[in-house]
């Protein structure tokens, strides 16, 4: 029952997207166009006459056509790629970046590594990390960061500085990217995104990391002014450039449910094709990609993530 309810919620939210509605309409028209053509052909071969010969197949196949259109229009929400010149695989998926275990996860922060208001707002990744693992002891993470940095108080660090923090389930690489900003609390420039990515690849090689899981850097609360799409393409370009220079770790790029837009995901796939990646596996969007892992003590049910999909 919960699975059915989650599926219904998924489709309700998808229908708020113009791109998904458009794809469903196009698929329905294509299905019924083919159905009418085949029905006419069958009627001509059998010698049947009258409108019933055409109406009956349409009535019977209408539910099948609607189901077909809904399913075939779903965006590809989990795609795995390989490149002939790079041994590591690239995976791009929609979901919760924290919904995994035994992984190395990149969490972006500002250059002061702030963990509290006003510089670490409630919807930032670092605040989500605190809510999941340090709810009753928020100062513990701050103290651990300061120890790693050999500081007593927060101080500005270079772009790309990394602090490694381990929890019971995963290891987190806290990556300095954004600057403090009086109005927006956090801001980031494209140059800083590229620099931080380059430092991240270097860190992964130096520490023999086999796989990284990271968000689209610069697209969160700090919001680089170029927008989300260029930042996704920038990340992919940086990764393949680094991989061409020398071997690098595998990569899981986790897109926020806001990015479960069919056109955006198709653009990402097309760009990977342009970069020389070959698709070795792809799965359509399902409620399982938008759920929290209950084992990690998340504070809300996964289906609520669907509510964040952009209205159309």
| Neighbour count for residue 102 (Cβ, 10 Å) | 7
| Mean pLDDT lowest among 128-132, 156-160, 266-270, 289-293 | 289-293
Per-residue pLDDT at 41 exceeds 60: yes
H helix or E strand, kind and range, residue 159: none
At 201-249, the pLDDT tens digits run 999 999 999 999 999 988 764 444 567 788 899 999 999 999 888 889 9
Any alpha helices (H) in 134-251, and if so which ranges? 138-149, 190-206, 228-245
Mean model confidence pLDDT for the chain: 79
Per-residue pLDDT at 310 exceeds 60: no
At residue 62, the pLDDT reads: 78
* Verdict on whether the full-model pTM lies above 0.95: no
At 245-267, the pLDDT tens digits run 888 999 999 988 777 777 888 88
CA distance 93 to 35: 34
Q: What percent of the chain has pLDDT over 90?
A: 32
Per-residue pLDDT at 10 exceeds 70: no
CA distance 300 to 122: 14
Please name the residue that has the structure tokens 């270079």. Answer: 158
Per-residue pLDDT at 131 exceeds 80: yes
At residue 182, the pLDDT reads: 61
Mean pLDDT of all residues in 175-185:
74
* Domains delineated in the chain: 2-72 (no CATH), 76-308 (3.40.220.10)
Q: Are 109 and 176 in contact (CB under 8 A)?
A: yes
CA distance 189 to 178: 8
Q: Which long-range CB contacts under 8 A does 21-24 form with residues at least 24 apart?
A: 21/312, 23/73, 23/262, 24/69, 24/70, 24/73
Per-residue pLDDT at 178 exceeds 80: yes
DSSP state of 179: B
CA distance 177 to 114: 12
At residue 3, the pLDDT reads: 65
At 65-86, the pLDDT tens digits run 888 777 777 777 889 999 888 8
Residue 169 in tokens: 């389930």
CA distance 114 to 3: 39
For Cα atoms 33, 35, 41, give the angle at the middle one, nearest 5 degrees. Answer: 105
At residue 303, the pLDDT reads: 37
């Amino acid at each position: 029952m919960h699975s059915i309810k989650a599926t219904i919620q998924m489709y309700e939210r998808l229908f708020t997207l113009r791109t998904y509605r458009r794809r469903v309409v196009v698929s329905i028209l294509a299905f019924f166009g083919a159905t009418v053509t085949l029905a006419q052909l069958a009627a001509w071969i059998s010698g049947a006459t009258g409108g019933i010969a055409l109406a009956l197949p349409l009535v019977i196949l209408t539910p099948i056509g609607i189901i077909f259109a809904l399913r075939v229009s779903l965006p590809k929400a989990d795609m795995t790629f390989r490149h002939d010149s790079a041994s590591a695989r690239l995976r791009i998926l929609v979901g919760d970046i924290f919904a995994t275990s035994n992984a190395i996860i990149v969490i972006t922060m500002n250059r002061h590594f702030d963990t509290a208001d006003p510089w670490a707002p409630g919807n930032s990744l670092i605040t989500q990390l605190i809510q999941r693992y340090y709810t009753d002891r928020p100062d513990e993470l701050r103290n651990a960061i300061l120890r790693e940095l050999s500081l007593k108080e927060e101080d500005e660090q270079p772009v790309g500085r990394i602090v490694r923090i381990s929890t019971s389930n995963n290891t987190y690489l806290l990556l300095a990217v954004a600057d403090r900003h009086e109005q927006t609390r956090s801001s980031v420039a494209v140059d800083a995104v590229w620099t931080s990515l380059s430092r991240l690849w270097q860190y992964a090689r130096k520490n023999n990391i086999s796989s990284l899981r990271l968000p689209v850097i610069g697209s969160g609360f700090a919001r680089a002014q170029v927008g989300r799409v260029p930042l996704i393409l920038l990340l992919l370009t940086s990764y393949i450039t680094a991989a061409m220079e020398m071997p690098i770790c595998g990569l899981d790029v986790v897109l926020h449910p806001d990015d479960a837009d069919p056109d955006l995901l198709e653009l990402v796939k097309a760009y990977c094709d342009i970069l020389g990646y070959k698709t070795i596996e792809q799965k359509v969007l399902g409620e399982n990609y938008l759920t929290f892992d209950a084992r990690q003590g998340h504070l809300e049910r996964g289906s609520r993530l669907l509510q964040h999909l952009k209205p159309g």
